[in-house]
Structure 1
């Protein structure tokens, strides 16, 4: 093992249609908490309120305090990886094309030959901007030496501080298209080797804290056979799923060329996850037509989760879910507030315009309930709507260590999102669903 590594069920049958109406049993009387929760480790919250609970027993409050929490969306970015992640695992014939770290003008960078892939040890552009940026800067993520996410012990300390027991960890999803405004790896053969090496790394990282880390593999998106082969490689490594980047792929996810990949996912039992990213043709982003502006970057950050609507709808209407009933798909960091509208419109559009042509045996929303799942960080109205519509299909995530996330105040965020929600629903969204979807015992 290299220096970097050392650092470091069966679907339930769904009804053909369910009414889009609320169930009074989902919501409980609000007001279980009177004051603002301290953003501390859950055990400390429990200790701090023990006296109050002994005098004023509240079933909803007690259930909340006993909740177990697993993040369905955390990250391990290129920025934080050990410098030898790729050079120690890729074939030596790649030479200096294998991603590695160099120092230039007093800063460290990830490079591939002359191409700069991104900074090392510092999160993103303008990390100190805004409230969230200042929180991360205060935690050391803007120093140029931040490697806590790839250090198994330090990452675990961060999760314990946040009251999170385990994580599903997304990997180097930006390296193909470019990280922020930096270059991506355009050479398909090299990208395949990079992903292969990363998957070996993350499997070793998972093994440093069994039961805590569930890093996902990465799949090439330019060739169906190579993607399928790498998914089987992920299975042999003991991973529970892999990420497929739909933007910039050889063909859209609804295209028949990806049929071997979906079949392999069924065969191996691995989850295929998608994740928000800068999609081609967007009018907003980190840089648009050579222009960078906080309003444009912020606009993309605001709307990015909803770009998953195309993935969600197209894989259902194209028959992917019908042909592969054991396939499990996750919409990573998608948010959930938009799902009720999309699912309702999907069913209506199908019934009014598409049923004669597509002839799906089930209404489209039934496929979502059977085999598609979405993650969220802060989505107050989405939690309440999906608690009614599909409580088994949504999973909370902290997005650690990103600015769009809730670390280190996840307990505070969870309490705000779930106040008044039936404890059984809370358990599903915070713990049970993610473990069932990824088949974690």
Structure 2
């Protein structure tokens, strides 16, 4: 007997934009500064050039290398017309869509180049993805190199109709961190526009000029698992900064999503911050109108894909903003085995809990997405 299909909304997915999107749509003086890669003759290494910097990196091997080859990707990874059939097959209804080119944002040094490149991305994604289906919640991109640019672009994309903005878990290394008052105009603009601030894990800045690469912190024994686990922590730090600095307390209408980082960390971080706030009152600045735990539980949402423990964050720890996500089409995602994953997670779970995690939390953040049809 075939399993009954479990339908779910996804709080995490990605789209591969055309590789030449920035080069084709920026003036020549700017297009020369956007990322480009040149492979060596042996196909093992490549030189990457970006904003006046160059470095060499080893081309991924194994399944990671296959993902870079279009013939091995999920059909809808970079083709919106093929994406909806992929989602229907997997049992995914609505989804939050993060960019791919935007992962280079922290590597730029010239504010004008980054501002204009992200503007191109936002115009393209809105026309090609957001407008294609009301099931898509495309995340806009803003510069974290210049906060004034970020505010201006946030207001522009909000006017266009964007409902979420992708933010790296740590801002550009040349900019102030998220707990500083300089970011207050941005939080104010996001709350006013009703735009969800969507952090995606693994987006800390990387010093590319020193040969660094995204997600590479550890080398040697256990490096692959260590690096994969390490990516989850940056999302936690982003939330901590927004809570401790009072940003979320001052903006109770602002909602934050941390995608792909699991959910059981939320109760732990909330309890830890609660203890710190209580036990170190004499040193705490600023003072908050609400407790850290109340702020986090009411304004922070967290998505996971495989973690069995994430369900316990709701059922045993009282954190109700748990959201499932497929991470389509990435290697660590559920594409090809989504139904197996969902049944493994939810077959023995109370129906109300399952509905909240697979459908309800997403709909709460993005009510504009049409509800799952009864006939699906």
TM category, shorter? 0.7 to 0.9
Give, in angstroms, the shift of residue 218 of structure 1. 1.0
Structure 2: state its 5+ residue gaps: 370-376
Give, in angstroms, the shift of residue 328 of structure 1. 0.9
Matches of 1:281 and 1:91, distance apart in 2: 26
- The answer for the alignment partner of 1:269 in structure 2 is 194
2:154/2:189 contact within 8 Å kept: yes
Deviations 1:9-66 (A, max 9, x none): xxxxxxxxxxxxxxxxxxxxxxxxxxxxxxxxxxxxxx835xxxxxxxxxxxxxxx47
Matches of 1:98 and 1:175, distance apart in 2: 9
Deviations 1:147-187 (A, max 9, x none): 7412112222322232112210111342024xxxxxx3332
| Mapped pair 1:196 → 2:131 | no
Matches of 1:302 and 1:226, distance apart in 2: 33
Q: Residue 111 and residue 284 in structure 1: after superposition, are their counterparts in 2 closer, same or farther (change >3 A)?
A: closer
- The answer for the alignment partner of 2:329 in structure 1 is 401
Task: Select between 255-264 and 104-113 the one with higher mean Cα deviation.
Answer: 104-113
| Mapped pair 1:176 → 2:101 | no
**Counterpart among 157, 171, 176 of residue 234 in structure 1:** 157
| Mapped pair 1:82 → 2:11 | no
Give, in angstroms, the shift of residue 238 of structure 1. 1.5
Task: Select between 88-97 and 207-216 the one with higher mean Cα deviation.
Answer: 88-97
| Mapped pair 1:72 → 2:11 | yes
Q: Residue 278 and residue 126 in structure 1: after superposition, are their counterparts in 2 closer, same or farther (change >3 A)?
A: farther
Q: Residue 117 and residue 396 in structure 1: after superposition, are their counterparts in 2 closer, same or farther (change >3 A)?
A: farther
Q: Residue 391 and residue 337 in structure 1: after superposition, are their counterparts in 2 closer, same or farther (change >3 A)?
A: closer
Structure 1: state its 5+ residue gaps: 1-46, 50-64, 178-183
Task: Select between 99-108 and 349-358 the one with higher mean Cα deviation.
Answer: 99-108
Give, in angstroms, the shift of residue 293 of structure 1. 4.6
1:109/1:117 contact within 8 Å kept: yes
Number of residue equivalences: 356
Matches of 1:237 and 1:117, distance apart in 2: 37
Where do residues 131-170 of structure 1 align in structure 2 (5 Å cutoff)? 137=66, 141-144=67-70, 146=73, 148-170=76-98
Give, in angstroms, the shift of residue 429 of structure 1. 1.0
Give, in angstroms, the shift of residue 281 of structure 1. 9.3
Matches of 1:437 and 1:339, distance apart in 2: 18
**Counterpart among 141, 149, 173 of residue 218 in structure 1:** 141
**Counterpart among 286, 311, 314 of residue 386 in structure 1:** 314
The DSSP-based 3-state class of the residue aligned with 1:420 is coil
Give, in angstroms, the shift of residue 305 of structure 1. 1.3
- The answer for the alignment partner of 1:428 in structure 2 is 356
- The answer for the alignment partner of 1:354 in structure 2 is 281
Give, in angstroms, the shift of residue 247 of structure 1. 2.2
Task: Select between 346-355 and 106-115 the one with higher mean Cα deviation.
Answer: 106-115
Give, in angstroms, the shift of residue 257 of structure 1. 0.3
Higher relative contact order (CA 8 A, sep 6+): 1
Deviations 1:167-209 (A, max 9, x none): 10111342024xxxxxx33322211111111111110122453
2:216/2:227 contact within 8 Å kept: no
The DSSP-based 3-state class of the residue aligned with 1:253 is coil
2:168/2:204 contact within 8 Å kept: no
| Mapped pair 1:305 → 2:232 | yes
| Mapped pair 1:318 → 2:245 | yes
Supply the RMSD in Å over aligned alpha carbons. Answer: 3.2
Q: Residue 293 and residue 304 in structure 1: after superposition, are their counterparts in 2 closer, same or farther (change >3 A)?
A: same
TM-score normalised by the chain length of structure 1: 0.72
Matches of 2:143 and 2:306, distance apart in 1: 30
Matches of 1:274 and 1:113, distance apart in 2: 24
| Mapped pair 1:295 → 2:233 | no
Give, in angstroms, the shift of residue 234 of structure 1. 1.6
Deviations 1:414-441 (A, max 9, x none): 1222232211111111112112113324
Q: Residue 118 and residue 381 in structure 1: after superposition, are their counterparts in 2 closer, same or farther (change >3 A)?
A: farther
Give, in angstroms, the shift of residue 242 of structure 1. 0.5
Considering only CA atoms, is the larger Rg found in Structure 1 or Structure 2? 1
Matches of 1:313 and 1:69, distance apart in 2: 29
Q: Residue 166 and residue 321 in structure 1: after superposition, are their counterparts in 2 closer, same or farther (change >3 A)?
A: same
Matches of 1:361 and 1:355, distance apart in 2: 16
